C-alpha cells in the first residue's frame, strides 16, 4: 500500500509540473493590403533530414534558409504566388528534388505552409540501407499550424 501511495505521489507531482505550450501568435501586417505566408518546419518524431536545410524562394526570389524547428514569415502583396524549396543555392545544404507550392492570397490573409519530411515507408527497407524521404509543402489550417509552431524560432538572418 505504501508503494502505491508513493507511486501516486510521484505521478501527481509530474502531472502538476507539466507546462502548457502556448500557441504561436502571428504578426500584424505592416500593410493591410498585403498577406502573410508562414513557411515552417516543426519538430518530427524521427528528426528526418533535420541536419539539412533547404533554401526557400518566393516567386523566384530567395527568402531564406529554413532549418529544422524554424519558420520564415513573408509579407507579400495579395495575388498569386509560388513557393519553391530548393538546394540550388550555396547557402543550402539539401538533397532531393525541388518542391513547389502555388497559392492565391487575399488582402489580410494569413497562410501557413508546413515543410513535411517523412521516411518513405513504401520504398525504404532495412536490407538496402538507403533511406528515401517524402518531402513536400503542406498547407495547414491556422489553428493546427499555430500549435505546431509554438516552439519554433523565426529565421531572422536571411540570405
Local confidence band at 150 (pLDDT 50, 70, 90 cut-offs): very high
Q: Could you give the CA distance from residue 80 to residue 91 in angstroms, rounded to a whole number?
A: 27
Q: Has residue 146 got a pLDDT over 60?
A: yes
Q: What is the pLDDT of residue 90?
A: 87
Q: Which whole number is the average pLDDT over 127-150?
A: 84
- Decide which of 3.10.450, 2.60.40, 1.20.1440, 1.10.10 is the CATH code for 35-154: 2.60.40
The pLDDT tens digits of the residues spanning 88-132 come to 888 887 887 899 999 999 999 999 999 988 756 666 555 555 666
Q: Has residue 155 got a pLDDT over 70?
A: yes
Q: Where are the domains of the chain?
A: 35-154
Amino acid at each position: 500500500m505504501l508503494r502505491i501511495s508513493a507511486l501516486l505521489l510521484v505521478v501527481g507531482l509530474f502531472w502538476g509540473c507539466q507546462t502548457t505550450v502556448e500557441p504561436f501568435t502571428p504578426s500584424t501586417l505592416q500593410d493591410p493590403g498585403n498577406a502573410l505566408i508562414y513557411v515552417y518546419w516543426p519538430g518530427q518524431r524521427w528528426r528526418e533530414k533535420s541536419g539539412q536545410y533547404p533554401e526557400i524562394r518566393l516567386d523566384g526570389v530567395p527568402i531564406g534558409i529554413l532549418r529544422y524547428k524554424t519558420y520564415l514569415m513573408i509579407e507579400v502583396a495579395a495575388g498569386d504566388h509560388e513557393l519553391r524549396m530548393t538546394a540550388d543555392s550555396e547557402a543550402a545544404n539539401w538533397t532531393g528534388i525541388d518542391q513547389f507550392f502555388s497559392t492565391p492570397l487575399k488582402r489580410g490573409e494569413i497562410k501557413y505552409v508546413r515543410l513535411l519530411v517523412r521516411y518513405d515507408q513504401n520504398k525504404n527497407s532495412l536490407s538496402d540501407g538507403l533511406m528515401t524521404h517524402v518531402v513536400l509543402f503542406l498547407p495547414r489550417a491556422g489553428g493546427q499550424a499555430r500549435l505546431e509552431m509554438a516552439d519554433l524560432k523565426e529565421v531572422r538572418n536571411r540570405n
